[in-house]
Amino acid sequence: MTQLNNSMAGLTHISPKFVSARSDANSAAGSALLLQGGQKCQLASPGQNLAKLLPPYLEHIQAERSLSLNTVISYRRDLTFFVSWFNSVNFSGAPAKVPSRGEILQYLSSLRAKGQKPASVTRMLASLRGWFSWLKDMHFIARDPLEHFENPHRIKKLPQVLTTDEISMLFAVSSTAREKALLELMYGCGLRVSELVGLNVADLNVGHGLIKCLGKGSKERIVPMGNQAINALALYRADQAARTAEQLKKSADALVLEATRAARPGAKAKRGRPRKVVPVAVAAVAVKSKSRPRAVKAEPLFKDEQGERLSRLVVWQIIKRLSQKAGIKKSISPHTLRHSFATHLLENGADLRAVQELLGHSNLVTTQLYTHVSRAHLKSAYTQAQTNFGLAL
């Protein structure tokens, strides 16, 4: 949770009253954009107020639309870059206006000139489209500059997948119980890396071979686990328990050593107020007497060396290191294992709808992309059609 809080640094908390109390905005210093006589909105001071409308929108997409934290961070980064660029090209002493469609196209062209990939430019356009649409719906601006604007044609690339032999090579070079458990859940269950690091111990149902994960848009889904994944998790949790017991023993030994040194003749007493020792029974009664019991913090399934929740970056580094160790020439990421999971299921005759449920796709079109990767699936359909061809002649 510490990592999540740190990643949200810079997202100013704005009360929903900021959005609804538009009648007081004219009298407030640095007010937001307002409609004035049905004419085009103007900013009270250039280079400031456009940025002030960003925090309430970020709160809206997180609280009301339930977008994931990573998506909110991406929107904040994209829109902050655009506001900085817009202020730099429009800071001329005159009141700054709402960006026009031509200015937005100029900004997108500058991104392409800097070598941004088409996917990044399309994502930036989606961020701007959502923001300006919300500003119009909330009556902060009179006209949406991107209304009826068509998205540029985007060439869909087939996802990078690994062969079954390359998957076996990854498992062969994994040396620790944590690495094997990570690989099993990403390849054997098709989890996204954000779903993987967000798992808690309470999300496991080993008896039924199921695992609960939180996907995009805070949507929960239940994914089955195979025997190999269950065994890998059992070994990993046993290894974690052994490490925890060893750390507790080291801490206890350190306390005993410190007490022994303090009890020696001639040992200098520590300066300062003596520590107050509360009996265990009294402490238990004090905890029960509190009117608001503290919420129990969920225990992460995968932890780092400091005992904190594992980060996505660490998982990415593990996959990169294992692929280099295995001699795999392809440039892969944790999401490559998810692509391979879906492709290998289709190659072995899995139903497309079942694969959609396992991946957590809301649209079947997204899952159909893997049918273009899996040539074995197409060949099977072709063979079946050829078998029945001509029987009625």
Q: Assign residue 61 the CATH number of its domain.
A: 1.10.150.130
273 domain-assigned = no
Q: Is residue 30 part of a domain?
A: yes
pLDDT over threshold 60, residue 13? no
Q: Give catalytic status of residue 192 as yes or no.
A: yes
Answer for the pair 172, 182: CB distance below 8 angstroms, yes or no: no
Whether 80 and 181 map to the same domain: the answer is no
Question: Percent of the chain beyond pLDDT 90?
Answer: 42
Residues 116 and 226 in one domain: no
- Whether 271 maps to a domain, the answer reads no
Q: Per the domain annotation, does 360 fall within a domain?
A: yes
In this structure, what DSSP letter does residue 99 have?
A: P
Question: Is residue 22 scored above 70 in pLDDT?
Answer: no
Single out the residue of 224, 198, 230 nearest to residue 210, CA to CA.
Answer: 224
Q: Is the same domain home to 170 and 108?
A: no
User: Do 197 and 314 fall into the same domain?
Assistant: yes
pLDDT in tens, 58-76: 999 988 888 888 889 999 9
How sure is the predictor about 23, in pLDDT bands with cuts at 50, 70 and 90? very low
CA terminus-to-terminus distance, the chain: 67
pLDDT at residue 3 is higher than 60: no
The answer on pLDDT for 382 being more than 80 is: no
152 assigned to some structural domain:
no
User: Is residue 274 assigned to a domain?
Assistant: no
Q: Are residues 84 and 169 in the same domain?
A: no
> What's the whole-number mean pLDDT along residues 195-209?
93
Same domain, 241 and 327: yes
125 Cβ contact partners less than 8 Å away, ≥ 6 residues apart = 108, 146, 151, 152
Q: Given a cut of 80, is residue 11 above it in pLDDT?
A: no
Task: Note down the domain range covering 80.
Answer: 2-137
DSSP string over 20-32: H-GGGTTTSTT--
Choice among 76, 192, 309, 344 that is catalytic: 192
- Active-site residue flag, 370: yes
Using CA atoms, how far residue 1 sits from 219, 299, 304, 307, 361, in Å, is 19, 10, 13, 12, 26
Q: Quick one: pLDDT at residue 174? A: 94
Q: What is the pLDDT of residues 141-186, one digit of tens each?
A: 888 999 888 777 666 778 889 999 999 999 999 999 999 999 999 9
Among candidate residues 97, 136, 303, 335, the one labeled active-site is 335
* Residue 334 confidence (pLDDT): 94
Q: Per the confidence metrics, is the pTM higher than 0.75?
A: no
Model confidence at 278: pLDDT above 80: no
Active site residue 338: yes
Q: Which of residues 392 and 319 earns the better pLDDT score?
A: 319
- pLDDT band with cut points at 50, 70 and 90 for residue 14: very low
Q: What is the pLDDT of residues 219-277, one digit of tens each?
A: 889 999 999 999 999 999 999 888 888 878 877 777 777 777 776 666 555 565 655 54
Q: Is the domain of 116 the same as that of 191? A: no
Share of the chain above pLDDT 70, in %: 72
Overall average pLDDT of the 339-358 stretch: 91
Is there a single domain that holds both residue 199 and residue 85?
Answer: no
Asked if 361 is an active-site residue, the reply is yes
22 phi, psi to nearest 5 deg: -80, -15
Q: What is the pLDDT of residue 34?
A: 34
Q: How many domains does the chain have?
A: 2
Please report the pLDDT score of residue 197 as a whole number.
94
| 26 and 106 in a common domain | yes
**pLDDT mean over 13-28:** 35
Alpha carbon distances (Å) from 159 to 139, 345, 350, 354: 41, 15, 19, 19
Q: Which of 76, 180, 338, 377 is catalytic?
A: 338
Average per-residue pLDDT for the chain: 77
Q: One of 212, 216, 237, 303 is an active-site residue; which one?
A: 216
Closest CA to 236 of 250, 225, 221, 224: 225
Q: How confident is the model at residue 281 (pLDDT cuts 50, 70, 90)?
A: very low
pLDDT category at 217 given cuts 50, 70, 90 is confident
pLDDT at 324: 95
In a domain, 90, yes or no: yes
Helix or strand holding residue 276 (H, E): none
DSSP β-bridge partners for residue 210: 205, 224
When pLDDT is averaged across residues 295-303 and rounded to a whole number, the result is 82
What is the distance between the alpha carbons of residues 1 and 361, in angstroms, rounded to a whole number? Answer: 26
Q: Tell me: do 307 and 233 sit in the same domain.
A: yes
Query: pLDDT tens digits for 112-142?
Result: 999 988 888 889 999 999 999 999 999 888 8
pLDDT in tens, 304-331: 888 899 999 999 999 999 999 999 999 9
253 in the same domain as 183: yes
Would residue 149 count as lying in a domain? no
- SS3 per-residue string spanning 182-233: HHHHHHHCCCCHHHHHCCEHHHEECCCCEEEEECHHHCEEEEECCHHHHHHH
- Quick check: 177 and 60 in contact, CB under 8 A? no
Taking 60 as the threshold, does the pLDDT of residue 42 lie above it?
A: no
Q: Domain with 173 in it: what CATH number?
A: 1.10.443.10
Judgement on whether residues 314 and 245 belong to the same structural domain of the protein: yes
Average the pLDDT over 345-355 and give the result: 89
